[in-house]
Amino acid sequence: MFSEISLSPNEIKRVQREVEFAERKIRKGYSREKILKGIRKTVFTQEEIFSIAKNRIKAREKFGELSKSLIFDDSGLRYSTPPTVAEYRAERLKTDKIADISCGVGSQLIFFARKSREAIGIEISRKRALMAYINLNSLGIENTSIIAGDALSDEVLNKIDADTVFSDPARPPEVEVRTMDGLEPHPEKVYEKYKKVTERIAFELPPQMPPERITISGEKEYTSLNFRLNRLALYCGELAEYDVSAVSLPSREKITSEDDEVIPERTDNVEDLLHEVDYTVMKANLLPNLLGKLGIEARIFLDDGKRTVLTSSTTTDSEFLRDYAVELVCPFSVSRINQELKRLDGGKITLRFSVSPDEYWNLRKKIEDGLKGEKWFYLFRKGDYAIISSPGHSV
């Protein structure tokens, strides 16, 4: 069974009014019981309104001013696409009519509707479909319809005449190895069903999924947001432009598997500069392509599986790299590092090597003991040696 969601403007206003009421009371420190008693009936229960209000408060960090108009359940907020990524994805998939067949609460659908002429959202959870409808209408977006139903059912499939289909399937929160089998709706089933509608199909997949477990052919695009791996998109059919690519947001700098390659050597000798590599590049296996595109001679100085650091004597101009000027190399001893930082007018230091969260602040406190300088340094470690560096490009 499926149904097209429709709410009156007054019903939407009632929901927003009750969420705002609960949000104000939460911020003022009222008890949960007292807040629940003051929430009036809407299409959501009192408990649901209370949860939505808590999530709106949390959403401020991720969505900024936009969060004032949006509503989320716990899962909807956790897995919602950040606006910077959503806008980029919507521009790449810009078309006449796009269908988001697992739209959740509509955070990506908002941007699809803004960039394409028409957008359709399908969501199997009626509660989330209602949230998506309210979110789009609260923002004044009218070129969208929301269907509550199973996107894999024939009755829903027969309603879709889009020229582009997008699916960001739900995923279990914690599994050791990401596979297609843990995703709902299953991407292979989506692909088999919807290739009858269009060959222009795109998926959002868990970014940590090993590429050999992606069983649908297409371009694998790894997305970095503020120097952190954030998303993995799979573009099928004519949407695919390369085999593998990586994009850095918000700058939109891009590297691809078709860029020239320069295979970096390894070295134990540090040069004038260190370049920390965005993990997104390593995950996409595009480091040789990045070096080839930039045309720099850099060697791998550190690589512990979590962080890769190059060294060279040339500054870079890439959002995929963070440059540090090497100030000095000394034995890794807290007292010696502290002494050198005082000599360098150091005041604060960031540790750029693997250390447990429990040890991080204890070690940093010991290293910063007695520092009164103005400068902030970054500390790398290789074996028994410390590399004290000052920030450069993009740090």
Q: What span, in angstroms and rounded, lies between the C-alpha atoms of 157 and 162?
A: 10
Residues β-bridged to residue 326: 389
Q: What span, in angstroms and rounded, lies between the C-alpha atoms of 92 and 108?
A: 13
Neighbours of 334 (CB within 10 A): 12
pLDDT of residue 176: 53
pLDDT of residue 175: 58
| 338 within 8 A of 370, measured Cβ to Cβ | yes
| 42 within 8 A of 14, measured Cβ to Cβ | yes
Tokens representing residue 214 in the block? 């992606």
Q: What span, in angstroms and rounded, lies between the C-alpha atoms of 320 and 307?
A: 13
- Under the banding of pLDDT at 50, 70 and 90, the label for residue 351 is very high
- Under the banding of pLDDT at 50, 70 and 90, the label for residue 393 is low
Write down the domain spans for the chain: 3-68, 77-253, 273-391
CB neighbour list of residue 380: distance below 8 Å, 6 or more residues apart: 274, 302, 309, 324, 352, 353, 386, 387, 389
Question: Residue 50 belongs to what H/E stretch?
Answer: helix 46-63
Give the HSE-up count for residue 8: Cα atoms under 13 Å, Cβ half-sphere.
4
CATH tag for 77-253 (out of 3.40.50.2300, 3.40.1350.10, 3.30.950.10, 3.40.50.150): 3.40.50.150
Q: What span, in angstroms and rounded, lies between the C-alpha atoms of 340 and 370?
A: 12
- The pLDDT tens digits of the residues spanning 280-306 come to 999 999 999 999 999 999 999 999 888
Q: What span, in angstroms and rounded, lies between the C-alpha atoms of 189 and 205?
A: 14
Average pLDDT, the chain: 94
Query: What pTM does this model have?
Result: 0.92
Give mean pLDDT, residues 249-267: 97
180, pLDDT greater than 90:
no
- Under the banding of pLDDT at 50, 70 and 90, the label for residue 173 is low
CB burial readout 374-388, b (16+ within 10 A) else e:
eeebbbbbbeeebbb
